[in-house]
Chain A
């Protein structure tokens, strides 16, 4: 292969870094987003080719095998994955970055050791790479398990949890310091193991409702892991890209926390929604004074409405109801009804989750409105249809200081003339908090799967048209 000098390689890395920055910039608008993705692809291609052509890379067999196998696996996953499963996929991919960072650090250690090039600073940087990478890996594995439903989404909490985490963290750093000072392989191994355990114990207590924050946070970690690898290898491209990704994830975490009116500290250490009560079913619902309605009732009010606002939540994703939402929208629009979708920032299991699903169903961008923009419109809406959303429409967040979600910005669904809530059962949401919206006079509950109910609505509307 033609070889390029270190200087040419450095310039190529610079070009690559610029392309990544422009790529992220492209995501400021849907129209330029796709071009942004292509720029990032180009940046990655340049980085990889420049590395392969550099003087440091001499043997290609294992590299080729790794890229081919990894490339095929990645391509197949990306083509087959359902949009509703994006949070799980992202969690899985984060874990791969974490593990790759750990492996790179260990491999670097072995190479440098063989060449007698180890020093304290380098070993400190290696330790940082391994610790961040390992926490990213095991944390993401747990997040994946929770999102995929392999592990219970409920917060797992026990006494002395924070103490345990603190001790683990101190011990991990202790072994890292010992490793950096003495080159002890035993300390390196123990440090690595402890960091894996720490990732596990940090994420396991966090409940499903906080997943948007956790996904963003692990996104951030995967960036820091790449940056730490960059320090180890003295590779500026890795440092730049790691910092970009690290900050991206950090900002998203912050945005998600704000949307829940909680501090990141509270999310990570708070353990939310322990008071969850298991579901009681329809009979109990009637006792508590909620009205249940049939599909016909909702249709009756919707088909003559001027404005209908649909609020999708995680339940819509689980039921795969986004396509019937689109049909419902079309049927209503054909009757002159204005239909909008209201999106709460933390609806679903990752930032922007609902937007992707609605985009998949071909629902136009203009019909999808963010919380701050749509909230003033609820008072003038004839019907609000809540599809599998819960805490994000709970009025207790506004006026009940005793509620755990008090202060969280919510969608003012209850202000509409009629509110219909599609729900499987009276089971409270992931956070386990009773939803006061269900007991309002203008609210009726339609019990059933979000997809079945919305398909039922579509069929009724189609039938009426004949």
Chain B
């Protein structure tokens, strides 16, 4: 099977997982859910690392990659920390 087709398989099956998992999320946590998925979509940082760190990378690509790493890092750090802050508030009142 060609690689692109394998990728398509994985994509479609992941969509199903996403579909079933997300319906279970309680409405009161919808804002943290958006913040968390937003942090998780910072996974494009992996792509940014691959672009920037390539052996013999051109200067233009390296600079473009740098900004991609920067933006994705804001997302990863900002997204996870703000989610944590919010969830701490929800946990606090469980007591």
Q: Are B61 and A111 in contact (CB under 8 A)?
A: yes
Given contacts A74-B78, A238-B46, A239-B10, contact A30 B36 (CB under 8 A): no
Given contacts A355-B29, A365-B28, contact A48 B90 (CB under 8 A): no
By beta carbon, the residue of chain A nearest B86 is A356
Q: Are A93 and B31 in contact (CB under 8 A)?
A: no
**Which residues from 31 to 68 on chain A have a C-beta closer than 8 Å to any C-beta of chain B?**
31, 33-34, 36-37, 40-41, 43-44, 47-48, 51-52, 56-60, 62-63, 65-67
Write the nearest CB–CB distance from A244 to chain B, whole angstroms. Answer: 4
Judged by a CB distance under 8 angstroms, whether A116 is at the interface is no
Q: Pick the residue among A30, A51, A227 that contacts B26 (CB under 8 A).
A: A30
How many CB-defined contacts (below 8 Å) exist between A and B?
A: 382
Contact with B along A265-299 (1 / 0, CB 8 A): 00000000000000000000000000000000000
Taken together as a complex, chains A and B put the C-alpha atoms of A269 and B80 apart, in Å, by 33
Q: Are A229 and B28 in contact (CB under 8 A)?
A: no
Taken together as a complex, chains A and B put the C-alpha atoms of A41 and B65 apart, in Å, by 22
Q: Are A215 and B75 in contact (CB under 8 A)?
A: no
Write the nearest CB–CB distance from A249 to chain B, whole angstroms. Answer: 7
By beta carbon, the residue of chain B nearest A79 is B81
Q: Are A229 and B81 in contact (CB under 8 A)?
A: no
Taken together as a complex, chains A and B put the C-alpha atoms of A107 and B26 apart, in Å, by 39
**Which residues from 229 to 270 on chain A have a C-beta closer than 8 Å to any C-beta of chain B?**
229-249, 251-252, 255
By beta carbon, the residue of chain A nearest B82 is A78
Task: Give every chain B residue within 8 A of A252 (Cβ-Cβ).
Answer: 22, 30, 33-34
Given contacts A51-B49, A74-B74, A356-B31, contact A248 B93 (CB under 8 A): no
Q: Pick the residue among A28, A74, A353 that contacts B31 (CB under 8 A).
A: A353
Judged by a CB distance under 8 angstroms, whether A454 is at the interface is no
Judged by a CB distance under 8 angstroms, whether A368 is at the interface is yes
Q: Pick the residue among B7, B44, B78, B92 that contacts A78 (CB under 8 A).
A: B78
Contact with B along A345-375 (1 / 0, CB 8 A): 1000011110110011011110010100000
Contact with B along A104-140 (1 / 0, CB 8 A): 1011101100100000010001000000000000000
Task: Give every chain B residue within 8 A of A100 (Cβ-Cβ).
Answer: 42, 44-45, 47-48, 68, 71-72, 75
Task: Give every chain B residue within 8 A of A28 (Cβ-Cβ).
Answer: 24-26
Q: Are A364 and B38 in contact (CB under 8 A)?
A: no
Query: Which interface class (under 10, 10 to 19, 20 to 34, 35 or more) fits A?
Result: 35 or more
Q: Are A226 and B29 in contact (CB under 8 A)?
A: no
Taken together as a complex, chains A and B put the C-alpha atoms of A20 and B18 apart, in Å, by 10
Write the nearest CB–CB distance from A359 to chain B, whole angstroms. Answer: 4
By beta carbon, the residue of chain B nearest A356 is B31
Task: Give every chain A residue within 8 A of B26 (Cβ-Cβ).
Answer: 27-30
Write the nearest CB–CB distance from A309 to chain B, whole angstroms. Answer: 17
- A sample of 15 more A-B contacts (CB under 8 A), given A345-B27, A352-B33, is A20-B40, A21-B17, A70-B73, A73-B70, A75-B77, A77-B78, A78-B77, A101-B47, A103-B67, A111-B51, A222-B41, A237-B43, A244-B21, A350-B30, A365-B28
- A residues with CB within 8 A of B: 20-21, 23-25, 27-31, 33-34, 36-37, 40-41, 43-44, 47-48, 51-52, 56-60, 62-63, 65-67, 69-71, 73-75, 77-79, 81, 83, 86, 89-90, 93-94, 96-97, 99-101, 103-104, 106-108, 110-111, 114, 121, 125, 215-216, 219, 222-223, 225-227, 229-249, 251-252, 255, 343, 345, 350-353, 355-356, 359-360, 362-365, 368, 370
